[in-house]
Amino acid sequence: MRGILKRSFYSRPTIDVARDLLGKIIVHRDGDQTRTGRIVETEAYLGTSDPAAHAYRGATPRTRVLFGHPGHAYVYLIYGMYHCLNVVAEEEGTAGCVLIRAIEPVANVTGSGNGPGRLTRALGITLEHYGADLTQGNLTIREAAKRDQLEIGISPRIGIREAVDWPLRFFVAGNSHVSRAR
DNA sequence: GCTATGATCATA
DNA sequence: ATGATCATAGCA
């Protein structure tokens, strides 16, 4: 399939990947349905130097994918109710990931996609997608159809207690699907 | 084995 | 401000 982001897109600094992911299209082939959405909000989580990142305290069974291949999905369950979708960045062997916080619904999306918990529910993302390769298979991220010049906003990350002041959240300015700040 | 807790959201 | 609800991590 054409337009899918290549491995080289992901094997770059986490912050660059987070910013460049804005406007890209998530495609999930979910049985008969093909659910698609446009990324409008992301957050960068650096590796072992970022106190707010899951990778901060080293590799565990859950975080092992963060230290592995870039371009794979890191999915986890939060608060017992919501899944969060992340994309592994950085070179192989270096931890780093991008949390997808919000999408703009494009096709076959039930409900709205603003907020990390709601977006995974809308796209049908579950723990089954843990470690999935985003350059092939059922869950992929594609190049934007139009290469608009996006106006990008930057702010501190949301919902964390450590390193709250680091401006690592990126969003499409003025887009109504961007989740509300706290 | 046991327990506390969290990168959330909806409701009040 | 609080409850829903469970995989994971840290500790015994």
Q: Which domains does chain A have, with CATH numbers?
A: 7-172 (3.10.300.10)
What radius of gyration, in Å, describes the C-alpha atoms of chain A? 15
In sequence order, which residues have a C-beta less than 8 Å from that of residue A176 and are 6 or more positions away?
Answer: none
Q: What is the mean pLDDT of residues A86-98?
A: 97
Averaged pLDDT, A61-79:
97
The pLDDT assigned to A92 comes to 96
A21-44: per-residue pLDDT in tens?
999 999 999 999 999 999 999 999
Tell me the C-alpha distance between A96 and A161, whole Å. Answer: 18
For residue A182, is pLDDT > 70?
no
Collapsing DSSP to helix, strand or coil, A128 comes out as: helix
pLDDT band at residue A52 using 50, 70 and 90 as cut-offs: very high
| pLDDT on residue A145 | 77
Nearest protein residue, CA measured to C1' of C8: A62
Report the largest interatomic distance among the alpha carbons of chain A, rounded to a whole angstrom: 43
Number of residues assigned to chain A: 182
Q: Is A182's CB less than 7 Å from nucleic acid strand C?
A: no
Residue type, position A69, single letter: H
Structure tokens, A172: 């499409």
Per-residue confidence band for A180, with pLDDT thresholds at 50, 70 and 90: confident
Residue A131 exposed, middle or buried by CB count within 10 Å (0-12, 13-18, 19+): middle
Query: Is the pLDDT assigned to residue A45 strictly greater than 70?
Result: yes
**Is residue A131 pLDDT above 90, yes or no?**
yes
3-state secondary structure of A105: strand
DSSP 3-state assignment of A173? coil
Give the nucleotide with minimal C1' distance to the Cα of A114.
B9
Q: What is the mean pLDDT of residues A50-73?
A: 96
- Protein footprint on strand B: which nucleotides are under 7 Å from a CB? 6-10
C-alpha span between A71 and A2 (Å, rounded): 16
pLDDT at position A181 is 65
Please report the pLDDT score of residue A112 as a whole number. Answer: 86
